[in-house]
Chain A
Amino acid sequence: MKMRTPLKNVRRLGSAHEGADHFWLQRLTSVSSLILTIFLVGLVIRLVGADYATAKATLSSPAVALLLLLLVLSGIIHMRIGMQVIIEDYVHHEVLKVLSLMLNTFFCYSVAAASIWAILKLSFGA
């Protein structure tokens, strides 16, 4: 049985134009998300049952705001490339796949934009 495919003739990074970038970015953001999610769980537990003034004061403190911004950044990258893999695994129709991948990016960046806007408004808003 012939096991070889024309793939062996691919030069440099091939048509994907990348090597282990995707793999590495998923690992990198998994470690950052791990640390930042532990912080988030602690934050949410602290704020359970808190009134608005307490919640606003906590969420607008510099350390909390910065860690939340980092969490949004790390989490959004992680979930965008994670969902990309799911789409590539299950959506085989070319047009649907490209549309799904676009929607994935739009969704992730929209959620990130809303979260970042909220964190900044809590910190700098009236």
Chain B
Amino acid sequence: MRGRQAQRPLSPHLQIYRPQVNMVMSILHRITGAGLYLGALLLAWWLVAAAAGPDYFNFVSGLFNSWLGRIVLFGFTWALFHHMLGGVRHLIWDTGRGLDIPSVNFLSWATIVLSLLLTLAVWAGALLFA
């Protein structure tokens, strides 16, 4: 293939477009996915800490409960919900539904709004239980 490619038109790249909600959500979907990739370390760390015994578990719980820990976990929660809702959006699109512009815009706005609401709801619930 190399060196024998046909002279086809190149599609315009990212910097050509004015930001639109669907493209911003698409980019955020990839960024949150990469964030959760690292976030999996936190879950593994927490499980290993629980398996290691009370001293280490309390130490890790203390770290997670510090202000820096809470900021990281809040971001983790939002990334989780954003990526989850973005995934649901893609599953809807996979069925061939919701591909007209108004639906695409609606689903994209719903992703960001619902992800923020769910994040706040979960943290409100968590702080209430604690």
Contacts and interface: CB of A to CB of B under 8 A. Distances in A.
A63 to B, nearest CB: 16
- Main SS class of interface, B: helix
A101 interface: no
A27 B91 contact: yes
B87 A30 contact: yes
Contacts of B84: 34, 37
B126 A118 contact: no
A90 B106 CA distance: 30
Interface string A46-87: 101100100110010000000010000001100100110010
Contact of A45 (B1, B50, B51, B129): B129
- Most chain A CB within a 10 A radius of its CB, from B1, B6, B50, B125: B50
A115 B58 contact: no
Contacts of A25: none
B51 A3 contact: no
A34 B40 contact: no
A114 interface: yes
B44 A34 contact: no
B4 interface: yes
Contacts of B50: 52, 55-56, 59, 118, 122
A91 interface: no
A114 B6 contact: no
A13 interface: no
A5 B40 contact: no
B8 A114 contact: no
Given A37-B80, A115-B43, A5 B1 contact: yes
Contacts of B87: 30, 33-34
Interface in B1-38: 1, 4-9, 30, 33-34, 36-37
B37 to A, nearest CB: 5
Interface in B80-99: 80, 84, 87-88, 90-91, 94
B31 to A, nearest CB: 10
Interface of A: 1-7, 27, 30-31, 33-34, 37, 40-41, 44-46, 48-49, 52, 55-56, 59, 68, 75-76, 79, 82-83, 86, 111, 114-115, 117-119, 121-122, 125
- A-B residue pairs, 7 tightest by C-beta: A118-B47, A49-B130, A118-B51, A52-B54, A121-B51, A115-B44, A118-B48
Given A27-B91, A41-B80, A52-B53, 19 more contacts: A1-B7, A1-B8, A30-B90, A45-B126, A49-B129, A52-B50, A56-B50, A68-B47, A76-B40, A79-B33, A79-B37, A82-B37, A83-B33, A83-B34, A114-B44, A115-B40, A118-B50, A122-B50, A122-B51
